[in-house]
Structure 1
Amino acid sequence: MNWIANYVRPRINSIFSRREVPENLWTKCDDCGTMLFHRELSDSLNVCSNCNHHMAITPRERFAALFDAGNFADVAVPDPIPDPLQFRDQKKYPDRMRAAQKSTGEKEAMLVALGEIGQTPIVAAAQDFSFMGGSMGMYVGNAIVKAAQEAVRLKRPLILFAAAGGARMQEGILSLMQMPRTTVAVQMLREANLPYIVVLTHPTTGGVTASYAMLGDVQIAEPNALICFAGPRVIEQTIREKLPEGFQRAEYLLEHGMLDRVTDRRKMRDELISITRMLMRLPPPVKGHLAAPDDMAASAPDPAKAPTRTEEQPSRK
């Protein structure tokens, strides 16, 4: 037995060798290139702490941060015909669907949920851009109609998070028909006098902006989100002119009256709670169930004054 070769050398190598770091511990910011620790990035809702760039976030992650204590219940959406046009390009449409479902872990491009925000019951719907670009197909149309029906049935406001590249080409005209369908769903909310709040995230384009995404009673967007029907490159090629800087971004649309607010994702929950309670004619939101220490001191009873029966709870007799 060679003691140096079999024991000493491996021991030295184990001490001085570089430890391997798992690849999923750090994420590179798409905008500034800063390496962000995954826990810190998750705590900041996928917002870069260096440049404030808003990265993609899944509907379930968004709902976990939006609803009280992260509790929400999925709403079942009717399934459409799987492949109505028998569409095939480089791959069959069902094959693309299975690949998207495997990569995202979701059934389709939109998730509908019930829950409470700031103790205010709501219905929420969110698109997943990582699922075939969040494209609007028959399932997305069914999801919005179902969300509107649940909101009317339960008398709750509907909050929708839009993120899409447009209509789903594999469903052709059936996809385009979701534009009037979803417009009718929004009208159902109007007739029931229920608020419809839209949060536009990056990117929201195509037929989505020509229908339900721009019909909200209140239009909010995340910072620097691309919001348009046709993209800047297509417009520049059509008019053969250079577009203004920041054209079709959230801040540009806010300046030109297309939006009501541009709100940081980390402040979005508080913003939505305030707007929802105001539109539902509810008292202003409060932090927690107990009064703040100063309020408790101001409202504390005088110790010298003994409570009487009328100041206590009424007798059960």
Structure 2
Amino acid sequence: MDIEKRIERLQERLTYIRDIFGSKENANIKLLGSRLDEFMGREKSLEATERVRLVTQLEDLFAFLEKKLEAELTPMDRVRIVRHPQRICLKDILENVYDNYTEIGGQDECSIDPSMLIARAYFTRRVGNKVINQPVMVIGQEKGHGQEFRNGGSVKPWGNAKAQHYMQVAEVENIPIHTFVFTPGAFPVEDYPGAAQQIAKNLYEMAGLRVPMVAVFSEGGSGGAEAIALADKRLMLSHGYYSVISPEGGAAIEGRTRQGQRVPPELIEETARKLKLTADDCFRQGYVDRIIPEPPLGARCDHYEFYKSLRNELINATNQVVLNVRGMKLFRAMALNRRKNAPENLDAESIFVRWTLSAGAREHLVWKRWQKFRKLSQHAYLDKRTFKAKVTAKGQEMAWALHSFFRYDFLGKHHKKWRRMVEELGAEAQFVKNKVSSPFKMIQERFAPAVELVDSEAKKSLTELSNPEEGIVLNGHGWSYASPRCREDRTVTCPNAATHGCLDQWAPDLFGEYAGVCAYCGHHFPMEYQWYVNNVFDQGSIFEFNREIESGNPLEYEGLDQKLEQAKKKTGLKSACTTFEARIEGKNVVVAMLVGAFRGGTVGAAEGEKFIQAVERADKKHYPLLAYVHGTAGIRIQEGTNGVIQMPRCTMAVRRYIERGGLYLVLYDTNSYAGPLASFLGCSPYQFSVRSANIGFAGPGVIKETTGTDMPPDYHRADKALSHGHIQGIWDRREVRKNLNQALLTMGGRNLYYR
């Protein structure tokens, strides 16, 4: 390499190191700077051989001190590494890891979304005397090296839609999918499709993809990462991070920083540490399967040895996924399993596995994927059930499963065949009977005397005006539960008074008879979750289960234990999700309710586990499932990846339930935002909202910080969500019971099941 280029490279390395460590004082960085400045000051007076010798010494010094600095990296330093423009990007990987590729779905600026890059690539393998090309579909966020049009890897909804489309193409072609997560988070817009709407679709699709999937994490920011990361093998670069929220965002919430205020750097550093977002943290918690070692201070575009290592890891990971569901694998599987904890010692080219799967293997792959995610985060919640209670619950589940098998699968199939045959024979007999009897009916109608079809009293009631004083009792709706606010002797002003001319209303009327609905404009004031529990479902029909599963503090996040105890004491609940069986007009239903009064209805490991168990209960008992969202602020940030992993886990459970014939309804109320909406709630085919609810991926403040754009006041209103197809209807609170009953009848049918 030319001496000038070597010097320029050293200057770039020093700039990079200073960027990573920010304003922190560090003796090693000062030493590197002083030595380089000293050399630059006397460079021109040196002879060529002396310059080469000193540059070589400097390169050795940089390599030595970079290794020392590597040991000093904090979690926030690692975040700065993955955000740096010199960080490897997806195009670098395509150029150096795969043997050939073609970019599809648009290129650079001429793409529906330049932040999402799709390529058809292949590995070339030599097997004996043959050369075999093994194709893969590569999907990932592309940040580039400071290219502004890439939007920093923050993908818009249509970019995620593009990814979903090519995932389906890969499934049709029966080729593996490699995804690369390089995103700080999804771009929070609510056009069609909205950000939450599309991420939910992606997760639902990935849950059932019947081809091997391998995901590689570099920068994994919340829902934007999950949009392409539900994979059979999840690898993570050693300097990467995977988090429910950015450290800056978490620090702003922790410090209650107002919009426009700067968050102290010390608080950001501390939040990054508490979130446990590094590769080691994620591996220890079980959310990634393997860490891929990088060069000191992170992989950059000219680290060619790293590309060889990454290629090796990708091939081995894909081989493992395929061999786990294939036959004829004994010796190859033994070799992989023996070295699975050290794949860097296993030459990827030495083991050949054909990556196409048979129909049976593809179905087994989806099952294995579900089993993998079902086991995650089991350590992250509190289960205070006694051993006897757990055994009893397991016994009940087995009994339900056995009953379901015999009633619906074994006997049900034969019953359906018999019923269809009887219906067909009955229809044929009825047709013949009508044909034979039609001449006799004609003769009878011609000679029979006219008969009054409607008696005089009935005709009178149908044709005359009614008397309102007879038989009418104006006693309101007769709610069995009224809000405690109805006992307040005061008037309440509607938020729409200035625009709609609403008059002030007396609290006993508004929160009693009117159920919190403005009598003038229909605005819905927030109501307690108990109002729905007592007024929507049949009296005495509610049976709560899994109450003993409690929210915990798996990251030992400072201050969270006290906040959880306060929430438990205030609400009488043990988590933000309460699950129960109930009846509506005699129809059985399983309900999972997110309660806004408990920590904003945020979802963590306990809430996710309770939701999944509710889905499984509805499946085993062949009941419809209702997710009622009294309010949710998203994923609980203090649980970090333990919370964000609930997005794919719960979505997979929902997909299995729906595919097995379940009827899944979602009803939103008050404020419903972020991760739950972008996953297991947003994937329902039947979503409805109570009037005046707010529905969206991110709140107005987050959108302002992310995009710099002020959102109109009605941006997240239910009617907007209805207009772009996120929800299918808007209901008045006073008619929720009636509308749910109608939905169960019309969408579920007689057996209240989809099929």
- Equivalent residues of 1:29, 1:36 under 8 A apart: no
In structure 1, give the amino acid aligned to 2:674: G
Which blocks of at least 5 consecutive residues in structure 2 are unaligned? 1-485, 498-503
Q: Report 1:2-41 matches (<5 A).
A: 24-26=488-490, 28=492, 31=495, 34-38=504-508, 40-41=510-511
- Equivalent residues of 2:494, 2:518 under 8 A apart: no
In structure 1, the partner of 2:694 is 226
Matched, 1:52 2:522: yes
Alignment equivalent of 1:102, drawn from 547, 565, 569: 569
Matched, 1:256 2:724: yes
In structure 2, the partner of 1:148 is 615
Using a 3 Å threshold, how does the CA distance of structure 1 residues 37 and 243 change in structure 2: closer, same or farther? closer
- Equivalent residues of 2:549, 2:610 under 8 A apart: no
Using a 3 Å threshold, how does the CA distance of structure 1 residues 169 and 39 change in structure 2: closer, same or farther? same
Residues 220-268 of structure 1: CA deviation (Å, up to 9, x unaligned)? 0111211111112332343334435521211011112221101111111
In structure 2, the partner of 1:5 is none
Structure-2 separation of matches of 1:106 and 1:81: 10
Residues 117-139 of structure 1: CA deviation (Å, up to 9, x unaligned)? 12211111211111111111111
Using a 3 Å threshold, how does the CA distance of structure 1 residues 102 and 25 change in structure 2: closer, same or farther? farther
Alignment equivalent of 2:589, drawn from 112, 118, 122: 122
- Equivalent residues of 1:180, 1:211 under 8 A apart: yes
* Paired residue secondary structure (2:665): strand
After TM superposition, give the deviation of residue 105 of structure 1 in Å.
2.0
Alignment equivalent of 2:734, drawn from 249, 266, 275: 266
After TM superposition, give the deviation of residue 38 of structure 1 in Å.
3.4
After TM superposition, give the deviation of residue 198 of structure 1 in Å.
0.4
In structure 1, give the amino acid aligned to 2:598: F
Structure-2 separation of matches of 1:81 and 1:233: 27
Q: Report 1:273-292 matches (<5 A).
A: 273-282=741-750
238-247 or 142-151: which moved more?
A: 238-247
Residues 128-176 of structure 1: CA deviation (Å, up to 9, x unaligned)? 1111111111111012111101111211100111220011112111011
In structure 1, the partner of 2:470 is none
- Equivalent residues of 1:29, 1:48 under 8 A apart: no
Structure-1 separation of matches of 2:521 and 2:603: 31
- Equivalent residues of 1:77, 1:146 under 8 A apart: no
After TM superposition, give the deviation of residue 112 of structure 1 in Å.
1.1
In structure 1, give the amino acid aligned to 2:746: M
- Equivalent residues of 1:254, 1:260 under 8 A apart: yes
In structure 2, the partner of 1:74 is 544
- Equivalent residues of 1:67, 1:117 under 8 A apart: yes
Matched, 1:212 2:680: yes
Using a 3 Å threshold, how does the CA distance of structure 1 residues 171 and 272 change in structure 2: closer, same or farther? same
Structure-2 separation of matches of 1:139 and 1:228: 23
Using a 3 Å threshold, how does the CA distance of structure 1 residues 85 and 236 change in structure 2: closer, same or farther? closer
Residues 8-54 of structure 1: CA deviation (Å, up to 9, x unaligned)? xxxxxxxxxxxxxx974447356258343336513433323344222
Structure-2 separation of matches of 1:245 and 1:272: 29
Matched, 1:83 2:553: yes
Using a 3 Å threshold, how does the CA distance of structure 1 residues 85 and 30 change in structure 2: closer, same or farther? farther
After TM superposition, give the deviation of residue 283 of structure 1 in Å.
9.2
Tell which structure's C-alpha radius of gyration is larger.
Answer: 2
In structure 1, the partner of 2:655 is 187
Using a 3 Å threshold, how does the CA distance of structure 1 residues 131 and 28 change in structure 2: closer, same or farther? farther
127-136 or 184-193: which moved more?
A: 184-193
Structure-2 separation of matches of 1:224 and 1:167: 23
Using a 3 Å threshold, how does the CA distance of structure 1 residues 194 and 62 change in structure 2: closer, same or farther? same
Structure-2 separation of matches of 1:101 and 1:28: 29
- Equivalent residues of 2:551, 2:575 under 8 A apart: no
* Paired residue secondary structure (1:125): strand
Structure-1 separation of matches of 2:487 and 2:747: 45
Structure-2 separation of matches of 1:36 and 1:260: 33
In structure 1, the partner of 2:645 is 177
* Paired residue secondary structure (1:275): helix
Using a 3 Å threshold, how does the CA distance of structure 1 residues 54 and 70 change in structure 2: closer, same or farther? farther
Q: Give the length in aligned residue pairs.
A: 260
In structure 2, give the amino acid aligned to 1:164: T
* Paired residue secondary structure (2:575): coil
In structure 2, give the amino acid aligned to 1:28: V
Using a 3 Å threshold, how does the CA distance of structure 1 residues 190 and 245 change in structure 2: closer, same or farther? same
* Paired residue secondary structure (1:143): helix
- Equivalent residues of 1:207, 1:229 under 8 A apart: yes
* Paired residue secondary structure (1:129): coil
In structure 1, give the amino acid aligned to 2:567: A
72-81 or 169-178: which moved more?
A: 72-81
Percent identity, aligned pairs only, is: 26
Structure-1 separation of matches of 2:698 and 2:678: 10
* Paired residue secondary structure (2:669): strand
After TM superposition, give the deviation of residue 71 of structure 1 in Å.
3.2
Using a 3 Å threshold, how does the CA distance of structure 1 residues 282 and 109 change in structure 2: closer, same or farther? same
- Equivalent residues of 2:551, 2:564 under 8 A apart: no
Using a 3 Å threshold, how does the CA distance of structure 1 residues 271 and 81 change in structure 2: closer, same or farther? closer
Superposition TM-score, scaled by structure 2 size: 0.33
Residues 183-203 of structure 1: CA deviation (Å, up to 9, x unaligned)? 012113112211100011120
* Paired residue secondary structure (2:549): coil
225-234 or 69-78: which moved more?
A: 69-78
In structure 2, give the amino acid aligned to 1:188: R
Structure-1 separation of matches of 2:751 and 2:578: 29
Using a 3 Å threshold, how does the CA distance of structure 1 residues 234 and 83 change in structure 2: closer, same or farther? closer
Structure-2 separation of matches of 1:277 and 1:23: 37
- Equivalent residues of 1:78, 1:142 under 8 A apart: no
* Paired residue secondary structure (1:164): coil
Which blocks of at least 5 consecutive residues in structure 1 are unaligned? 1-21, 285-317
Structure-2 separation of matches of 1:23 and 1:275: 34
In structure 1, give the amino acid aligned to 2:649: R
Using a 3 Å threshold, how does the CA distance of structure 1 residues 154 and 65 change in structure 2: closer, same or farther? same
* Paired residue secondary structure (1:212): coil
In structure 2, give the amino acid aligned to 1:222: V
In structure 2, give the amino acid aligned to 1:193: G
- Equivalent residues of 1:200, 1:213 under 8 A apart: no
Structure-2 separation of matches of 1:70 and 1:56: 25
Using a 3 Å threshold, how does the CA distance of structure 1 residues 31 and 251 change in structure 2: closer, same or farther? same
* Paired residue secondary structure (2:694): coil
Structure-2 separation of matches of 1:99 and 1:39: 32
- Equivalent residues of 2:510, 2:517 under 8 A apart: no
Using a 3 Å threshold, how does the CA distance of structure 1 residues 94 and 245 change in structure 2: closer, same or farther? closer
Question: Hey, which of these two has a bigger chunk of helix by percent?
Answer: 2
Using a 3 Å threshold, how does the CA distance of structure 1 residues 47 and 107 change in structure 2: closer, same or farther? farther
